Amino acid sequence: MLLPHFSNTIVLLCLFFVLLEATNLTLPHQHPSPDSVALHVLSTINASLSRRQLSSSSSSSSSSCRTGNPIDDCWRCTSSDWASNRQRLADCSIGFGRGTLGGKNGKIYVVTDSSDNNPANPSQGTLRYAVIQEEPLWIVFSSNMLIRLKQELIINSYKTIDGRGSAVHITGNGCLTIQYVQHVIIHNVHIYDCKPSGGAVVAATPTKSGRRGRSDGDGISIFGAQKIWIDHCSMSHCTDGLIDAVMGSTAITISNNYFTHHDEVMLLGHDDSYGPDTGMQVTIAFNHFGQGLVQRMPRCRRGYIHVVNNDFTSWKMYAIGGSGNPTINSQGNRYIAPSDPSAKEVTKRVDSKDDGEWSNWNWRTEGDLMENGAFFVASGGGVSTLYSKASSVEPKASALVDQLTRNAGVFGGPRDDQGQSGDSYSGYGGGGGGGEGGGGGGTSAIGGTTRGSSSSSDDSNFFGMIFGSNAPPRPRLTLLFYLIMICVLSLSTLLLL
Q: At what angle do helices 4-22 and 478-496 cross, to 10 degrees?
A: 160
> What torsion do the CA atoms of 424, 428, 433, 436 make, to the nearest 10 degrees?
-170
Percent helix, strand, coil in the chain (nearest 5)? 25, 25, 50
DSSP annotation of 379? B
DSSP annotation of 159? E
Q: Is 332 left (phi over 0), alpha (psi -120 to 50) or beta?
A: left
DSSP string, 259-290: EESEEE-EEE-S-TT-GGGGG-EEEEES-EE-
Phi, psi of 437 (to 5 degrees): -85, -145
Asked whether the beta carbons of 401 and 311 are under 8 A apart, the reply is yes
23: exposed, middle or buried (C-beta count within 10 Å: 0-12, 13-18, 19+)? exposed
DSSP string, 203-214: EEETTEEEE---
How many other CB atoms sit within 10 Å of the CB of residue 42? 24
User: How far is Cα 297 from Cα 319, in angstroms, rounded to an integer?
Assistant: 5
Catalytic positions, please? Answer: 296
Interacting residues of 156 by C-beta distance below 8 A, sequence separation 6+: 131, 132, 133, 134, 181, 204, 205, 470
What is the radius of gyration, based on Cα positions, of the chain?
Answer: 24
User: How far is Cα 45 from Cα 51, in angstroms, rounded to an integer?
Assistant: 10
Identify the H or E element spanning 4. helix 4-22
Distances (CA, A) of 427 to 43, 84, 143, 489: 31, 11, 11, 69
Length of the chain: 497
How many other CB atoms sit within 10 Å of the CB of residue 425? 15
What three-state secondary structure class fits 228? strand
